[in-house]
Homo-oligomer: A and B are copies of this chain.
Amino acid sequence: MPVHDHQLHEGESLREAARERLTRQGEQWTGMREAVFDALAGFDKPASAYDIAEAVSKAQERRVAANSIYRILDLFVGANLARRVESANAYVANTHPDCLHDCIFLICDQCGQAVHIDNDRLTGGVRDAAKEAGFTQTRPVIEVRGTCGDCDPN
């Protein structure tokens, strides 16, 4: 269970929370951004920028270049609407965009599913260790590659 309380959103509610958050940052919630967010949230596993480009292209019946997707994903990550999964070169929608903290991702090497867990004790420990080594403006990347319970039902 999470170490702290926060609201997890899904579907319509998630999009609303994302829109709220982005506009509150002084950024616009455009049709294109909504389309990208919907596509991203529609995936059940981390999606690459090209996956998203394909999904948006299909939804809009026109070609959307990966380029534009990257721009919007960068914006989303900066605004905490999405997270980048470094070990998968892929992105996931953030189900609690109002809650600013470090996430831990567990990624299944078999099925590609990613589980998101929160543990401030662990992430705080990693931050502290980096600080102790003289690092500032730290951004922890904590992920675990492995096999999920569904893929290895022992």
Residue A42 CB within 8 A of the other chain: no
Interface centre among A115, A125, A130 (most CB of B within 10 A): A130
Instruction: State which size class the interface on A falls in.
Output: 35 or more
| B122 A135 Cβ-Cβ under 8 A | no
- Partner of A141 from the list B108, B129, B142 (CB cut-off 8 Å) is B142
- Partner of A115 from the list B104, B133, B149 (CB cut-off 8 Å) is B133
Chain A residues 124 to 142 lying within 8 A of chain B, measured CB to CB, are: 125-127, 129-130, 133-142
Which A residues are closer than 8 A to B by beta carbons?
86-87, 104, 106, 108-109, 115, 117, 119, 121-122, 125-127, 129-130, 133-149, 152, 154
